[in-house]
């Protein structure tokens, strides 16, 4: 069964196989070499809290990031039990029942649940810590990837990623670029449960898993030239997005908005132009002129198309945010984020109408924005 799964015809073009990746005279990627990502991922998980404590927090203080004090709800075991075990957003009928049981008004129960939900929402400092950690890595990864590829012929002519396939020698720079990127994405997947939750949480998990599979598979079958191009295209915009969020939390509105516009332009160029029309064309269309299709070909490009679908999803959110905040004077807001509620908001919907009047129509007819991206906030 194992031999059938790893048969040459499944993962390689006709006439090629695993034997081509075993040459004592050429350094070629081996599965045993890739396991270095495990200690690297562990290292990231250990380094991250140290970075957030000793670098991110002082930087947040320097930039003026402040958390506003949140009102704590009064102790109420009955409401706490409902909040923890039944629902954080009780229905109208539940509110009325709870108000009778707790001997207080429905409005007081509403206010208690709002304050309790706000208690569970991540602080601005925590969001800044996460953004600064990712910003630091993505900035390093982008310029490291650029240094790895800038002198390679397939960086300028992507069809050349197939020259001498599959006996393309593995360079030390490619090895470290791959293992560090893979280790970082594994660390993100491990820590995603404790990170700030977004409305696109599931899409983020899918993205991390697809990226890990893509990096691992491209290593195994020596699609490394294409893999490095894919990673560079993704890193090109990520550090801009994270920096925009950092300035957002610091309240530097104009700086945040400017960086976000730059990020949006770079994101669209790299993810919706270069990625599909250059990279995917070189991995999906061009190979059919020199090889017959095989399962590994479909598997690799299927993962790329999955990433492209996620890019389109996030690009729609980004464009919508840009359209909303450009005519106004406020800061860009992440539509994936869970917003803090105020005590003046009513559960029956009047709060939403108040927010519309406060943040929308009284501000040139545009909804005010407050955070950032696909990765925004």
Q: How far, in Å, CA of 211 to CA of 209, rounded? A: 5
Residue bearing tokens 């800038």: 150
Q: How far, in Å, CA of 183 to CA of 181, rounded? A: 5
Token pair listed for 140: 């390093």
Rg (CA), the chain: 25
Looking at per-residue pLDDT, the higher value among 346 and 326 belongs to 326
Cis-peptide, bond into residue 166, ω within 30° of zero: yes
Burial label for 259, CB within 10 Å (0-12, 13-18, 19+), is buried
Residue bearing tokens 């250990």: 46
pTM (2 d.p.): 0.80
Domains and CATH numbers, the chain: 21-64+123-325 (no CATH), 77-120 (1.10.10.60)
Q: How far, in Å, CA of 324 to CA of 319, rounded? A: 9
User: Using an 8 Å Cβ cutoff, are 269 and 233 in contact?
Assistant: no
List pLDDT tens digits, range 29-63: 988 888 999 999 999 999 999 999 999 999 999 99
Residue 121 pLDDT class (50, 70, 90 cuts): confident
In the prediction, which pLDDT does 330 show? 53
Q: How far, in Å, CA of 215 to CA of 178, rounded? A: 7
- Average pLDDT for the chain: 84
In the prediction, which pLDDT does 323 show? 81
Region 142-151: mean pLDDT is 95
Token pair listed for 24: 């004592």
Convert 95-127 to b/e letters by CB count within 10 Å (16 or more is b).
beebbeebebebebbbbbbbbbbbeebbebbbb
C-alpha triplet 341, 81, 120: angle, nearest 5°: 35
| Range with top average pLDDT, 27-36, 136-145, 336-345 | 136-145
Non-local (6+) Cβ contacts of 177 within 8 A are 144, 145, 148, 228, 231
Q: How far, in Å, CA of 297 to CA of 287, rounded? A: 9
In the prediction, which pLDDT does 340 show? 55
User: Using an 8 Å Cβ cutoff, are 199 and 313 in contact?
Assistant: no
Q: Is the dihedral of CA 171, 172, 178, 181 positive or negative?
A: negative
Nearest one of 363, 140, 133, 334 to 248, comparing CA atoms: 334
Q: Is the dihedral of CA 218, 223, 229, 230 positive or negative?
A: negative
DSSP-based three-state secondary structure for 103: coil
User: Using an 8 Å Cβ cutoff, are 90 and 155 in contact?
Assistant: no
Region 167-181: mean pLDDT is 94
DSSP state of 274: I
Q: How far, in Å, CA of 215 to CA of 188, rounded? A: 15
């Amino acid at each position: 069964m194992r031999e059938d799964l790893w048969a040459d015809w499944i993962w390689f073009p006709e006439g090629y196989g695993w034997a081509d990746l075993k040459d004592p005279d050429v350094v070629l990627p081996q599965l045993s070499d890739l396991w270095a990502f495990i200690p690297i991922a562990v290292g990231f998980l250990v380094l991250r809290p140290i970075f957030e404590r000793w670098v991110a927090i002082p930087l947040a203080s320097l930039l003026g990031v402040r958390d506003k004090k949140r009102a704590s709800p009064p102790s109420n075991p009955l409401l706490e039990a409902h909040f923890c075990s039944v629902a954080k957003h009780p229905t109208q009928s539940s509110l009325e029942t709870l108000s009778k049981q707790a001997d207080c008004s429905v409005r007081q129960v509403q206010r208690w649940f709002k304050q309790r939900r706000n208690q569970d929402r991540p602080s601005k400092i925590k969001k800044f810590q996460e953004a600064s950690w990712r910003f630091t890595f993505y900035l390093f990864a982008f310029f490291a990837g650029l240094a790895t590829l800038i002198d390679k012929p397939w960086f300028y002519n992507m069809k050349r990623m197939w020259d001498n396939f599959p006996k393309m020698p593995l360079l030390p720079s490619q090895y470290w670029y791959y293992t560090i990127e893979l280790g970082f994405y594994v660390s993100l997947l491990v820590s995603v449960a404790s990170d700030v939750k977004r409305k696109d949480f599931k899409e983020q998990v899918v993205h991390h898993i697809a990226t890990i599979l893509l990096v691992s598979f491209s290593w195994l079958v020596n699609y490394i030239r294409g893999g490095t191009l894919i990673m560079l295209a993704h890193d090109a915009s990520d550090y801009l997005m994270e920096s925009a969020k950092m300035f957002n939390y610091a309240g530097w509105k104009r700086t945040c908005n400017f960086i976000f516009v730059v990020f949006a332009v770079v994101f669209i160029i790299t993810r919706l132009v270069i990625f599909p029309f250059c990279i995917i064309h070189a991995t999906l269309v061009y190979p059919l002129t020199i090889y017959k299709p095989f399962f590994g070909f479909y598997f690799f490009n299927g993962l790329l198309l999955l990433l492209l679908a996620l890019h389109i999803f996030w690009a729609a959110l980004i464009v919508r945010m840009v359209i909303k905040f450009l005519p106004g004077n406020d800061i860009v807001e992440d539509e994936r984020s869970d917003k803090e509620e105020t005590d003046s908001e009513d559960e029956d919907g009047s709060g939403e109408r108040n927010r519309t009047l406060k943040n929308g129509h009284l501000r040139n007819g545009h909804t005010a924005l407050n955070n950032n991206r696909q990765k925004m906030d």
